[in-house]
Amino acid sequence: MAFVITDPCIGTKDAACVDVCPVDCIHPRKDEPEFEQTSILYIHPDECIDCGACVPACPVAAIYDSPESTPDSQKSLVDANATYRAGDAGAVAQAEAIVKAHVAAHPDLMAVAPAERAAAHAK
């Protein structure tokens, strides 16, 4: 089990979650070189301790508390979170490719403002 960042982070990406995570498992941080390259932030599933601190910190409700609770429309982003590795250019590119495919597959969600997008996630 691990928490999962989903598409309301696209267009928001304010790193508020990074500031509250006690184990530094959300990347890229603003001080990491990949920050400018990524569409969203990613939670490392093996490092997340399921504390829940990031959820209320997120201004757009982008974070779900497990892969199982992540809505069907967001399932590919479970893989994106699991794929991303800070400092690994190949893994960064692979995770971003998953996010870009998600964006291409969901013009309906992308048409919704980030703050309203979580409400539009179909279960």
Binding residues for ligand SF4, per CB under 6 A? 3, 5, 9, 12-17, 20-21, 23, 25-26, 41, 43, 48-54, 57-58, 60, 62-63
Nearer to ligand SF4, 1 or 91 (CB): 1
Shortest separation between residue 81's beta carbon and ligand SF4, angstroms? 10
Shortest separation between residue 4's beta carbon and ligand SF4, angstroms? 9
- Residue 42 buriedness (CB in 10 A; 0-12 / 13-18 / 19+): buried
**Distances 73 to 34, 102, 118, 123 between C-alpha atoms, Å:** 26, 9, 11, 7
CA distance linking residue 103 with residue 101, whole number of Å: 5
Shortest separation between residue 62's beta carbon and ligand SF4, angstroms? 4
Shortest separation between residue 120's beta carbon and ligand SF4, angstroms? 15
Nearer to ligand SF4, 13 or 106 (CB): 13
Q: Can you spell out the DSSP letters for 67-107?
A: TTTS-GGGHHHHHHHHH--TT-HHHHHHHHHHHHHHHHH-H
Nearer to ligand SF4, 14 or 91 (CB): 14
